[in-house]
Amino acid sequence: MPEDQNRLVEDQVSRLRPELHHMLNSLAENLTNDLTREKSQLEDQVQALQVQLDSVQTQLNDAKSELAAANAKVADMDSKLLDAHTKLDDVNHKFRNSERRNDAMKRELEQAKIRWTGVVTTGWSEADSDREKLRRKLEKKEEELALLKLKTRTARRWMKKATLVLKEDDVLPRPESRSSVSSESSYSLQHSRRRK
């Protein structure tokens, strides 16, 4: 009995073996095709991802370069800003010193004005007095000049009359000549007294 059962099993296995082989081959082929298709799809996806990765890497490198340049600019701007603050502080310090000097100069100027107001006023008064003295001296000189001109004219007249007298061989002056001379002398003396 056991041998018969074993024989039956072997017969069934022998009949089913080709079908099993066919089923296994079909399954293996289907699995291989599926795996090949999936592998191809995965390779395409990997290639696309690699392209994207390369692009992202390029963008990242560019961003790093731009960031480095921006950092350099920021550092330069920080340095310039620090210099500007330093210069501004220096300018503010100089401006405050200038304001203090200006205030001191204004105070000194006001004090000088107060101190010298009296002196200037006195100086103006002295200048007016000097001007008045000079004016009087000038008037006196003008009077002296007028008197000198009058004396000169009188002397010329005397010389003319003396010349006429000499031409007439008359040693003594004529009465009218004496009268003329005495009247001119009297006029000059009166004019001089009036001016004095």
Instruction: Answer yes or no: is pLDDT of 190 > 70.
Output: no
Question: In this predicted structure, what is the pLDDT of residue 81?
Answer: 85
Q: Which residue has the tokens 């690699």?
A: 50
Rounded to 5 degrees, φ, ψ at 172 are -80, 140
Instruction: Answer yes or no: is pLDDT of 134 > 80.
Output: yes
Above pLDDT 90, what percent of the chain?
26
Distance between terminal CA atoms of the chain? 194
What amino acid is encoded at 158 in this protein? W
Burial of 165 (0-12, 13-18, 19+ CB in 10 A): middle
What amino acid is encoded at 49 in this protein? L
* Segment 31-50 mean pLDDT: 94
Domain boundaries, the chain: 2-195
Question: In this predicted structure, what is the pLDDT of residue 140?
Answer: 87
pLDDT in tens, 6-18: 777 777 777 777 8
What amino acid is encoded at 166 in this protein? L
Residue-averaged pLDDT of the chain: 78
